[in-house]
Chain A
C-alpha cells in the first residue's frame, strides 16, 4: 500500500513527467528512423522464435564470453594509457578472466537451471514434496513456454547466488593460474 502511494507520488511529479515525455519523444524518433520490416522467410522466423525459446542466461553468457575474447584483449592491447609491459600483463589477465568467468558462468547457470527443473514438478500424488519446492502456486502446467522461461529465470537467480562464492573459490585461482601460464608462455616464446 505504502509502496504504491510512493509510486503514485513519483509518477505525478513534474520531473518524472518531463523525463518520461522526453524519453517517449526519443523512442518515437528512434522508431521513425528504423524502416518497417515484414519477415516472410520461414527459416528466419523460426530462428527468431527458437532464440526466444532456447537462449537462457547460460547460452547468453557463452555468447558474451566468445565475443569478449574477440574484443576485450584488443581494447586492452591498444590502451595507450599504460606502459607496454603493463599492457601485456593486462591482456593476459583479461583473456584468463574471460575463460575462467565464461566456463564457470556457463556451467553453474546450466547446472542450476537443470536443478530448478528437477525441483519444479507439478504437485501430484506420486510426486515427492521436495520435487515441487520451486513450483509456483499460480502455475497451471509445467510444459508451457512461460513455465520454461520461469525455470530459466529462477535457475539464473540461484546461479548468481552460487557464483558469489565460486567467484572466490574457482574464478580467482583459475584466473591467477591462467594469467601466470600465459605470461610464462609469452616469456618462453621471446627466448
Chain B
C-alpha cells in the first residue's frame, strides 16, 4: 500500500508526463472534470436542500442527473472529436507548415500514399527528431484551437438546445402529473407560470447549464 505522499508524487509525475506535451488533451479532460464536479455540486445541492420537499427531490434529482449526463457526454464527444480530428490532420501531414512539408518531401513521403492516411504518423518517422520542435509547437497550437472551437460548439450551442428540449419534456410530464392527465392529453407544453418558475429556480439555484 502506497503512502499518501507517494501517491501525490505519482499523481504529479503522471500529470507532467500526460499533459506536459499535450495541452489540447488537457483542456478536454479538465473540461470533462469540470462538468463532472459542477454536476456533482448541483445534485448535492438538491439532495441536501431542506427547502425542497422529498416529492420535489424525486423529480429534481433524476432531472439533474440526466442534465449532467447530457452536459458531460455532449462536451466530451464533440470536443474530443474536434481535437482528435485536428491531431490526425497534423500527424498525417494534411495540415502542415512549410518547414514540416519540406521535411516530409525530403524524407520521400508520397502524397497519395501517406498524406492524410490514418496509418501514417509523422511522429513515427525515423528522423522525426529533426523536425520535432517545429512539429510539436504547431500541433499543440492546432490542438488547443480545435479544443476551444469544440468547447464553444458543445457548451454554447448543442448543450443548450438539447437541455431546452429535455427540460420542456420534463415540464410537460410535471404538468401532466400535477393535473393527473397523460402527457398526450396536453394541448401544448405551455410551460409553468413565472411564479412557479421563480420558486423552483430559487430552490434549484443552478440548472447545470454552465460549466464551472
Interface residues of A (CB under 8 A from B): 24, 27-28, 30-32, 34, 36-40, 45, 47-53, 55-57, 60, 63-64, 67-68, 70-72, 75-76, 79, 81-83, 85-86, 89-90, 93-94, 97-98, 101, 104-105, 134-139, 145-147, 149-150, 152-154, 156-157, 160-161, 163-164, 167-168, 171-172, 175-176
Which of B12, B19, B194, B209 is A149 in contact with, Cβ under 8 Å?
B19
Say whether B212 contacts A93, CB under 8 Å: no
Binding site secondary structure of chain A: helix
Other-chain residue from B34, B118, B141, B151 in contact with A27 (beta carbon distance below 8 A): B118
The chain A residue with its CB closest to the CB of B210 is A101
Query: In the bound complex, do residue B137 and residue A53 qualify as a contact, i.e. CB atoms below 8 Å apart?
Result: yes
Task: Identify which of A40, A48, A176 gathers the most chain B CB atoms within 10 Å of its CB.
Answer: A48
CB distance from A14 to the nearest CB of B (A): 21
Residues of B within 8 A of A (CB): 9, 12-13, 15-17, 19-24, 26-27, 30-31, 33-34, 37-38, 40-41, 45, 84-85, 88-89, 92, 94-98, 101, 111, 115-118, 137-145, 147-148, 151-152, 155-157, 160-161, 164-165, 167-168, 171, 189-194, 197-198, 201-202, 205-206, 209-212
In the bound complex, CA of A36 to CA of B96 (Å): 8
A-B contact pairs, 29 of them (CB 8 A): A27-B88, A34-B89, A34-B94, A36-B95, A38-B101, A57-B26, A64-B148, A70-B156, A71-B157, A76-B164, A81-B167, A81-B189, A82-B189, A82-B192, A83-B191, A83-B193, A86-B193, A89-B194, A89-B201, A97-B206, A97-B209, A97-B210, A137-B9, A149-B19, A149-B23, A150-B15, A152-B23, A157-B15, A160-B30
Name the A residues within 8 Å of B118 (CB-CB).
24, 27-28, 31
Q: Within the assembled complex, what's the spacing in Å between the Cα atoms of A97 and B139?
A: 34
> Among the listed A24, A56, A149, A164, which residue makes an inter-chain contact with B40, where contact means beta carbons less than 8 Å apart?
A164
